[in-house]
Structure 1
Amino acid sequence: MTNELIFICGFIVFIMLMLAIDLGIFTRSNKPVGIKQAAIMSGVWVALALGFYLLIYNYGHLLHNVDSFAVLQQKNLDNFHKLKLNPVDFEGSLALYRKNLALEFITGYVVEYALSVDNIFVMVLIFSAFSVEPKYYHKVLVWGIIGAVIMRFIFIFVGAALIDNFHWVLHIFGAFLVYTGVMMFVNRNQEEHIDPQNHKVVKFASRYFGVHPKFEGSKFFIKQNGKKLMTPLFLVLLIIEFTDVIFAVDSIPAIFSVTKDPYLVFFSNIFAILGLRSMFFLLVNIIEKFHYLKVGLSALLVFIGLKMLGGHYAEQWGFTTMHSLIVIVGILTVSVAASLAFPKAKTVQKHH
């Protein structure tokens, strides 16, 4: 059994254990998740991500079983790290490699966490459109995340195989991210709307499966006249899964701009997804206050896309992962600060 397989299996077991505890403890009561609980949950997931950063920083070489300079050099080439390794100083080169892995992980995590905020805007719309009671949000999101972990695993390793065999795919990813960023900026003020009756997922489910017309508490399925029917709550879960697939098309190429190591892409992606649920409950009532965030996210996507397109020039100019992290954090900080400093003017209705 390879080290990579041990790492990935251990990581998935850890995720499933955390989600099982989460689902068992918090979903039984079917109570809305409060701000305090959401803040604690967010803090726990961020702390776990930082703990994983330290694990990679100190033991990252074990991930790919780097036990000689030849293996280290090969991994440096395979994953396009572009590190200046010293053949006469294996320990020093190994420390540089671990430090770089840790930096790539945390940068990818910040990128994915930031892009997840846009997902929250859509989740709020979905729950509102289907009139889901707040006490059922948590159950839907936990099961949604389990599905997202499986789909991201497939997407990331397929993407890594494409990049490994067709390096020019990175330029397609880059162009796509620039286009997405520009379109996000152009459409930033458009009112988004979800029609529950005419949504593609609802139409598909209604055509091929039995759908119950009304909610039945927290149940996803009910039996009626010996037939198993899906409830509107399960339809909401399917729509959230469908939405995550669409968001993955943006976010996964974005992390490949930071690191080409598929394991780091997976780890950073999943940690951000796990934190998304608690961040949803933290921001659900105040998300509209961050009205410049979409501008920030569009700038972030354009920056990442341009970096992918001009990767060779970025390296020549000495543009490192640390520089990318500084730019990314800077964009997000400015967009949040601008939202708070210049709040959206409230529309006042005049009475005659």
Structure 2
Amino acid sequence: MSHELLFFGGFILFIILMLAIDLGLFAKGNKPISLKSATIMSLVWISFALGFGLILYFWGHELHSIVDMATLKDVVHRHSHNIEIIENSFDASIAIYNRNLSLEYLTGYVVEYALSVDNIFVMVLLFSSFGIPEKYYHKILVWGIIGAILLRCIFIFIGAALIAKFGWILYLFGAFLVYTGVMMYIKRNEEEEVDPKGHPVVKFASKYFKVTHETESGNFFDIKNGVRYMTPLFLVLLVIEFTDLIFAVDSIPAIFSVTQDPYIVFFSNIFAVLGLRSMFFLLVNIIHKFHYLKVGLAFLLVFIGVKMLLHDWLHSWGFETVHSLIIIIGILAISIIASLMFPKKVEGDPMSRP
């Protein structure tokens, strides 16, 4: 347990440090984030995520203090790792375990990173609907990510506790993901709209706080004549947190199809969330070009759901984590390539292809 706490504590300290650096480097002056800065930060976060995967590849067994064959077997059984232990070789078994752990982490990271793109579609819509100036995007997103980390931490460990006690809940998750994927495909062409006044979060906040429509100060709250007013910046932050809560209902069960180790679920999820802010600024002006991405995400959710429902059968056929990773990357690559090869038809533009 001490190793788990040390590993987890070190990870949290690293995240706090990086967020502090991020705020220090990019939050000064409420200036819009340039494409260059967004690209650099995206590459930095991806590098950190891949680097953490390498740590797991070489020292993953340290996470659960695996020092002998008995402990290894207990951890593999407890977290349902899909590996074959070599009875007469502890070192070889540890190498297999670490390799599988890093693959589970990487696959989970890709799944979460891909699903978080759907968040970007919604964020763009929210900022536009609430009339938030671009220079305040970064401030809202940073605090939104901090809130998302706390919420997902709670969700993940509650989910892990439920799975440990009620194994059948994985089948419930699988059926839910298949349903979600099918509904996403059916509604793929529907235009999403946000009513700034009619949103339930806005109604709730307006009931208990005085709200101003001014954003010039760049503050979450303004004081006028001794009265505290909530600004649209804080309203959008609340809506983003609420939206992330809804997205977490899909994304967290999805990652439990890859691994049932709550720490690996947490690590991969948090790295994906941390990369969301920089990815937002990288894709904000071109996200509409990836019109087949929702189709890809729909197929991704269906695949993950089916995998959860048929887990035992697939395991008997030798289906491993690496196969899931290949299929997931393939689905995403096809949806991105299709979007670029067959641009969405723009109404009134005779040169655009259907």
Q: TM-score, structure 1 length as denominator?
A: 0.98
Unaligned runs of 5+ in 2: none
**Structure-1 residue corresponding to 2:344:** 344
Structure-2 separation of matches of 1:260 and 1:194: 35
Q: SS of the counterpart of 1:213? A: coil
Report the residue type matching 1:101 in the other structure.
L
CA RMSD of aligned residues (A): 1.1
1:78-89 mapped onto 2 (5 Å cutoff): 78-89=78-89
- Aligned residue number for residue 43 of structure 1: 43
- Match for 1:253: what amino acid? P
Partners of 1:82 and 1:148 in 2: how far apart?
Answer: 30
In structure 2, the partner of 1:130 is 130
- 1:167 is paired with a residue whose SS is coil
User: Is residue 8 of structure 2 the alignment partner of residue 8 of structure 1?
Assistant: yes
**Distance across 2 between alignment mates of 1:12 and 1:82:** 28
Q: Aligned partners of 1:51, 1:137: CA distance in 2, in Å?
A: 28
Q: For the residues of structure 1 that align with 2:295 and 2:213, how far apart are their CA atoms?
A: 39
- Greater mean alpha carbon deviation, residues 17-26 or residues 233-242: 17-26
Q: CA deviation at 1:17?
A: 1.2
- Higher mean Cα deviation, 221-230 or 139-148? 221-230
Distance 1:62-1:214 versus aligned 2 partners, 3 A rule: same
Q: How does 1:184-223 map to 2 (within 5 A)?
A: 184-223=184-223
Q: In 1, distance between residues paired with 2:46 and 2:310?
A: 32
Contact 2:82–2:320 (Cα < 8 Å) also in 1: no
Aligned residues: 350
Distance in 1 between the 2:330 and 2:13 partners? 35
Residues in 1 aligned to 2:300 and 2:166: alpha-carbon distance in whole angstroms:
25
Q: Which amino acid aligns with 2:163?
A: I
Instruction: Assess if the C-alpha contact under 8 Å between 1:156 and 1:265 holds in 2.
Output: yes
Distance 2:210 2:129 in 1: 21
Distance 2:83 2:53 in 1: 19
CA–CA distance in structure 2, aligned partners of residues 172 and 152 of structure 1: 20
1:156 aligns with 2:156: yes
Asked if 2 retains the 8 angstrom alpha-carbon contact of 1:69 and 1:90, the reply is: yes
Note the 1:23-62 alignment, pairs <5 A.
23-62=23-62
Matches of 1:289 and 1:219, distance apart in 2: 33
Q: What do the CA deviations read for 1:140-184 (whole angstroms, capped 9, x no partner)?
A: 000000000000000000000000000000001000000000000
One-letter amino acid matched to 1:194:
V
Matches within 5 A, 1:262-301: 262-301=262-301
> 1:262-310: CA deviations, max 9, x gaps?
0000000000000111110011000110011000000000000000011
Structure 1, gaps ≥5 residues long: none
Equivalent residue, structure 1, for 2:119: 119
Name the CA distance, whole Å, in 2 between partners of 1:98 and 1:108.
Answer: 15
**Percent identity (aligned):** 63
Task: Provide the TM-score with structure 2 as the length reference.
Answer: 0.97
Letter in 2 for 1:197: K
Aligned mates of 1:344, 1:86 — CA distance in 2: 52
Structure-2 residue corresponding to 1:227: 227
Q: Which whole-Å deviations, capped at 9, do the CAs of 1:80-133 have from their partners, x for residues lacking one?
A: 003211221000001111111000000000000000111100000000001111
Moved more, 81-90 or 62-71: 81-90
Specify the SS of the correspondent of 1:131. coil
Is the 8 Å Cα contact of residues 216 and 231 (structure 1) preserved in structure 2? Answer: no
* Matches of 1:254 and 1:82, distance apart in 2: 17
- Higher mean displacement: 229-238 or 174-183: 229-238
Q: Give, in angstroms, the shift of residue 349 of structure 1.
A: 7.6
